[in-house]
Chains A and B, each alone.
Chain A
């Protein structure tokens, strides 16, 4: 089997926002077709990392995407405007004029064409997340950056968001970088994991890397704080 090509190389990444160090000394590589999970507590800089990879935040160090790589992005909790008068079709047309492509990505995430006429505000949160995934797939990206997929199950018992990602990865040869604080995702779904709490705590293959010791180091401060708080 041929070695998969490296599509992202990050070296000594440091991100400072408003003079506060958010990410320190992070280095890693992503190969085509891999699933990389970034695990860490709230405020650990996970979302900032994704946005930095997208080129939204300034940084020190090196971020090197393979030339011509296309990136799709599914942000965390897009403020959901319940009564915004916009149909799903119009939402997609903010990104592409190609109607066939819109139908195609919609089908990929398991929606019928008739869905296009629906109002964005009519969707359940699970459906909405799927629409955002479809939106990210417009333009046929090589990489999907996904911020905190929610694990909630749809009432209709459709495939979970992880089954969907698994399928997309196979069908579209997608590389996936996702952010989560959900441990089960790391073990079931990832090839590589980075435990991040501003600085990387551990990184490698999930089974070898995510040990109880590493976890207590990653979430340790939070637990201590919690006990302290209840001591009063």
Chain B
């Protein structure tokens, strides 16, 4: 039981919605899987933030962004497959995290801890979520075209690098917020599950985008309510709610 339930719920609704929406874009780019290793890159940032008692999302965001650029740099330099590079950075991130954090802090970094979210945090979270939502809204058509065909996109004089950068920025921001809610281990579920469920029920992009966002919000509402009533950690409950929606979506799959 927490007293700041409404701050948490409101924050969750906004983060869930934005994460679900982003997930729909990632699914069409076949990129949902990348959130998982990327979120682990955030862990050293979370560790640093915990040590210096700063906001963990802040630490996560900088490390994610730094990590993404590092991936890009190693890729250019070594020509190794992206998965290999991510795997390397992933284990290094975990190593650093385990080296510096106490057991309790590790738990917080891995599965999140929302009990500390206050009114001000909530306000900041809502603001960032909205910003990311509108950013995604803006880059959605161009990124969809890029994911259908890079050739078509380039012929349309779309600046691929610019859009990929904005895309990465959105992912970093959402993962950073998500780490606070569900932790570094589960944040992939926050983006992948709503989108996967939405895809089962959609034949066009409009429905897909809408449902993705809606399911993200529902996951947050269910998960956080269950957390309030049962006292189990919110992160796993949010992700399991997402899985429940996914199972239901399979029954109604078109």
- Interface set of A (CB-CB < 8 Å, partner B): 51, 54-56, 71, 73, 75, 78-79, 81, 83-87, 89-91, 93-95, 119, 135
Contacts and interface: CB of A to CB of B under 8 A. Distances in A.
B148 A84 contact: yes
20 contacts: A51-B154, A55-B157, A56-B151, A71-B155, A78-B149, A78-B152, A79-B149, A81-B148, A83-B199, A85-B28, A85-B207, A85-B208, A86-B144, A86-B204, A86-B205, A90-B204, A91-B148, A94-B145, A95-B156, A135-B152
B206 A90 contact: yes
Nearest to B152: A75
Nearest to A56: B154
Interface size for chain B: under 10, 10 to 19, 20 to 34, or 35 or more residues?
A: 20 to 34
Nearest to A86: B205
B202 interface: yes
A85 B156 CA distance: 22
B162 interface: no
Nearest to A76: B151
A119 B204 CA distance: 7
Contacts of A94: 141-142, 144-145, 148
A56 B141 CA distance: 20
B143 to A, nearest CB: 10
Interface of B: 28, 141-142, 144-145, 148-149, 151-152, 154-157, 199, 202-208
A163 B202 CA distance: 36
A78 B149 CA distance: 6
Contact of A90 (B142, B155, B157, B205): B205
A90 B205 CA distance: 7
Contacts of A51: 151, 154
Given A84-B28, A90-B205, A135-B152, 12 more contacts: A75-B151, A79-B148, A81-B148, A83-B199, A84-B148, A85-B199, A85-B202, A86-B148, A86-B204, A87-B205, A94-B145, A94-B148
